[in-house]
Structure 1
Amino acid sequence: MIQALVIDDQEINCILVKGLLENFFPDRIRPYATSNLAEALELITTLQPELLFLDISMPEMDGFELLQHVRKQQKAEVIFVTAHDAFALDAFDHQAIGYITKPIVSEKFVRTVSRAIELIHQKTNTGLVETLKKAIITSGNNQDKRITLTSQKGLTFVDPAHILYCESSGNYTTFFLVNREQIVVSKQIGSFVSKLESHSIIRVHDRYLVNLQHVTSYIRGNGGLLVLINGKEVPVSVRRKNDLLHFFDE
């Protein structure tokens, strides 16, 4: 559960945003709210919230000043919720991940908060991955030869030799393994190219990476097709065809 804190000098706005969080994200966010600055500063220290909802125009300390104070203690993600749209550029200069104007439109609210949740989980998983990698290397076993894939289910450690191919779909990449398992990762396929090419897994198309150790044949064509051991036919782009054939010649 993500700890979230709503700070607004108008209590009715605190109640509204807290209620929206409880209604739309009951299993993902634990929200707290306050309209009192002193209490807000205390809650920031005790709760260490990962997500802040800040008003900008507040009498004792505006949202930007409060954010500067918060970031002396921690790095929380921030969504500004304000009646004015004139501060949007300033908000993003302060590295806010969302800017919602009042009256709040629920659809935009849900989209913005969902994006914040995904970002926070990615940061958390990245930290966990690095910790696990260090532990694996320190332990002296051979698990560090595997790659780590982060999906909604958690972390999966995969031997590159067990990867058949990877397929891109926008900002997501699906890994297809020899045991027929599929792992969907919320990263673009390009981020895996340099990591996998030393394992003979190369990019043959804008949408595909293929493990050449599992290729049974190449069908000639404009770009051609690679046939894998499971019968899957993967297209080869015209501009990558010569590089692929050169690899086979070697």
Structure 2
Amino acid sequence: MKVIRALVVDDEPLARARIVKLLEQAEGVICIGECKNGREALRQMRDYQPDLVFLDIEMPDLNGFDVLQQEALKPLPFIIFVTAYDQYALKAFDVHAVDYLLKPYDDDRFEQALAHAREQIQTRENAELHQKMVHMLKQHEAQQTPGLQFLEVKDKGRTLEINVLDVQYFEADGNYLIAHTGSRRHLIRQTLQSVADALLAGQFLRIHRSLLVNTNAIERVQYDGNNQYTLHLHSGQALASSRGYKTEIHQYLEARGEDA
């Protein structure tokens, strides 16, 4: 069963301490941090990506709803609101909160909310596992047929063929494509998507709408925060990813046995 990584956000130290103590007694849950205001919560949710957040509503600077509206947090973790005010209950469920703990609450009510969160997290984990299996099957099917091996390029009026395995990365340039092979650049009259579709699965990694990187050219992957990475190539080149391709990078790292 997945270990649930929880974050506690409340401007009252005693309220935070109680939740942390209850989490310590719960099986299969770890508390990865505490926050005393909305800005701290935003930073830790963005950097550590918890599975579950116990979130107060009325706090200094950003309140709980303000935090959840930040684009940097998409997709959101599961949320259990913990508050002394009952007037926010309807709004809480409008943002798909797992539960709404109204202070003061007893231990049984806390366990009930945590159990509900476990069910929701397990459901999402099962769905993600299914998606991974479907992706693996598609990759296997794609590997049964040879992918693109050579590309025609123009060089001083001549037409040459380059081996795609010699390309460190492809870079989109309008309706053209630049193939980077060491110190040379080759202009190709194709789109990045058309080449990506023709390549053998696993040979290249899409990290940006304009970048397609040869996996054999990657030396290491550095996490920069906010679901963005820098890929360092053996050649010394550094390429920045965009947040929209975090899933592809996660899958690549998992295949290499590295943490995402």
- Output the TM-score relative to the length of structure 1: 0.51
SS at match of 2:80: strand
Partner residue, 1:42: 43
Structure 1 residue 29 displacement after superposition: 3.4
CA contact (8 A) 2:37 2:60 kept: no
Whether 1:107 and 2:108 are equivalent positions in the alignment is: yes
Partner Cα distance (1:52, 1:99) in 2 = 12
Partner residue, 2:15: 13
Structure 1 residue 10 displacement after superposition: 0.9
Gaps of 5+ in 1: 142-250
Offset from partner CA, 1:134-173 (integer Å, 9 cap, x none): 32244249xxxxxxxxxxxxxxxxxxxxxxxxxxxxxxxx
Cα 1:60–1:80 change in 2 (3 A) is same
SS at match of 2:34: strand
Offset from partner CA, 1:157-193 (integer Å, 9 cap, x none): xxxxxxxxxxxxxxxxxxxxxxxxxxxxxxxxxxxxx
Identity in percent: 34
Letter in 1 for 2:107: S
Partner Cα distance (1:140, 1:46) in 2 = 36
Partner Cα distance (1:133, 1:99) in 2 = 35
Partner Cα distance (1:6, 1:94) in 2 = 18
Aligned length in residues: 140
1:1-250 to 2 correspondences below 5 Å: 1-25=3-27, 27-69=28-70, 72-140=73-141
Letter in 1 for 2:57: I
Cα 1:70–1:81 change in 2 (3 A) is farther
- Output the TM-score relative to the length of structure 2: 0.50
Partner Cα distance (1:80, 1:120) in 2 = 16
Structure 1 residue 71 displacement after superposition: 6.4
CA contact (8 A) 1:18 1:32 kept: no
Q: Over aligned residue pairs, what C-alpha RMSD do you find? A: 2.1
SS at match of 1:87: helix
Structure 1 residue 40 displacement after superposition: 2.2
Letter in 2 for 1:81: V
Structure 1 residue 30 displacement after superposition: 3.4
Offset from partner CA, 1:2-45 (integer Å, 9 cap, x none): 221111111111111111111123x3333421214443222112
